[in-house]
Amino acid sequence: MKISRKRLIQEQLDKTLEHLACVRDVQRPTKGWLRAVREALGMSGKQFAQKLGVSAPWISALEKKELSGSVTIKTMRQASEALDCVFVYAIVPRKSLADIVHRRAEIVAEKKLRRVSHTMLLEAQQLSKSEQKKALEAEVDNLMKEMPKELWEDYNEL
């Protein structure tokens, strides 16, 4: 994928996800979303089951599955529809995607430069602190610009 295309995709997704930042800290109700909404609507488990065309015990199992995380997206969507709700599924980054990539680029650049610095030290060619900082910034900028696949590989061997 071309570099400019990667950056464009990242920027567009960051912009889209920006609107979801407000849900980042929303906590699931203790009893789960389905049960909380169902009870807030004043609907019994039996009534909910009838709307979904299932048995009442199935609703109890569904609400337990939601709490355990073993319910499927398809089932959550169907149950939400029966409650006249919209099921929303999203992955919301804690920070912007650009910030996540930048931090990873810093980690990779630091590891690369540590290895180079060690070699230069052995050859009595070590960079000054300000030169090291400039070299680090240049490497981070380069990694941010190119966004190579290696950015996300394990760099323990560096």
- The CA-to-CA distance between both ends of the chain, in Å, stands at 26
Output the six-digit token pair for 60: 């109890």
pLDDT range class, residue 14, cuts 50, 70, 90: very high
pLDDT range class, residue 147, cuts 50, 70, 90: confident
Is the pTM value of this prediction over 0.75? no
- In Å, the largest CA–CA distance within the chain is 79
Please name the residues in contact with 45: beta carbons below 8 A apart, sequence gap of 6 or more. Answer: 38, 56, 59, 60, 63
